[in-house]
Amino acid sequence: MHLIVNQVFTGIVSGAVLVLLALGLNLIFGFMEIINFSHGAFFMLGAYVGFYLLTAFGSFWWGLALVPLLLLLLGAAVERTLIKPLYRRSAVDPLLLTFGLTYIVTQLVEMIAGKQGETVNAPSQLNFQLPLGFTSYPAYLTFVAVLAGLIVLGLWLLLERTSLGLIIRAGIRDSTMIQILGIDFDRFRVLVFALGIALAGVAGVLNSPVTGVYPEMGNDILITAFVVVVVGGMGSFWGAVLSGLVIGVLVSLTTLFASVYASIVPFVLMILVMTFRPRGLLGTT
Amino acid sequence: MRGGLARAALLAASALVAACGVAGGQSTAGGSTSSTPIRIGVVTGLTGTYAQLGEAQQNGAQLAIQELHGKAGNHPISVLVRDDQIKPDLALSQAKSLVQVNKVDFLTGCVSAATTVAINQVAKQAGIPYLGTCQTEALNRSPDFGPTTFHIAPLPSQDVNAIMPWICQNLGKRLYFLQPDYAWGHEQYDAEQKAAPADGCTIAGVTFAPLGTSDWTPYIPKIEAANPEVLMVGPAGNDQVSFLKQAKQFNLQSRMKIFQFLEDLSFDEQMGFDVTAGTYGATNFYWTIKDPGTQKFVKDYEKAYGKPPSGYAAYVYNAVMLIAKEVAAGHVTPSQFSRALAGSRFDLAEGPESIRACDHQSFQPTYIVQGLTQDEAASKGGSATYGYRSIVRTIPASEQQAPSCSELGLS
Per domain, the residue ranges of chain B are 24-154+291-363, 156-283+365-401
Q: Which residue on chain B is closest to A231 by alpha carbon?
A: B7
Does some domain include residue A226? yes
Smallest Cα distance from B44 to chain A, Å: 13
CA–CA separation, A260 and B178 (whole Å): 12
Q: With an 8 Å Cβ cutoff, are B242 and A212 in contact? A: yes
Asked whether the predicted pLDDT for residue A57 surpasses 60, the reply is yes
Q: What is the CATH number of domain B156-283+365-401?
A: 3.40.50.2300
Question: Which stretches within B214-256 are classed as H helix?
Answer: 220-226, 237-249
Assigned domain for A285 exists: no
Is residue A284 domain-resident?
no
CB contact under 8 A, A251 and B9: no
CATH of domain B24-154+291-363: 3.40.50.2300
Number of C-beta neighbours around residue B89 at 10 A: 12
Give A254 to chain B, closest Cα distance, Å.
Answer: 9
Q: What is the dihedral of CA A90, A91, A93, A96, to 10 degrees?
A: -150
Specify the DSSP class assigned to residue B361. B
Q: Do domains B24-154+291-363 and B156-283+365-401 have the same CATH topology?
A: yes
CATH code, domain with A231:
1.10.3470
**What tens digit of pLDDT does each residue of B134-146 get?**
999 999 999 999 9
Buried-exposed string B222-232: b where 16+ CB fall within 10 A, e elsewhere = bbbbbebbbbb
Domain count, chain A: 1
pLDDT higher than threshold 90 for residue A30: no
Query: Cβ contacts of residue A108 below 8 Å, gap of 6+?
Result: none
Q: Give dist(CA B236, CA B223) in Å, integer.
A: 18
> Could you report the per-residue pLDDT of A172-221, keeping only the tens digit for each?
777 788 788 887 778 888 999 999 999 999 999 999 998 889 898 998 78
pLDDT tens across B289-336, in order? Answer: 999 999 999 999 999 999 999 999 999 999 999 999 999 999 999 999
From chain B, pick out residues whose CB is under 8 angstroms from the CB of A119.
Answer: 241, 245, 270-272
Question: Which residue type does B63 have?
Answer: L
B178 touches chain A (CB under 8 A): no
Integer Cα distance of B307 and A250 in angstroms: 44
Domain extent for A121: 2-276
- Tell me: the pLDDT tens digits for B234-260? 999 999 999 999 999 899 999 999 999
Note whether residue A45 is domain-resident.
yes
**Residue A282 counted as domain residue:** no
- CA angle A49/A53/A55 to nearest 5° reads 115
Other C-beta atoms within 10 Å of A93: how many?
Answer: 15
Rounded Cα–Cα distance for residues A231 and A226 (Å): 9
Nearest residue in chain B measured CA to CA from A18: B215
* pTM, entire model: 0.86
A91–B9: do the CB atoms touch at under 8 Å? yes
Strands B75-83 and B71-72 turn out to be antiparallel
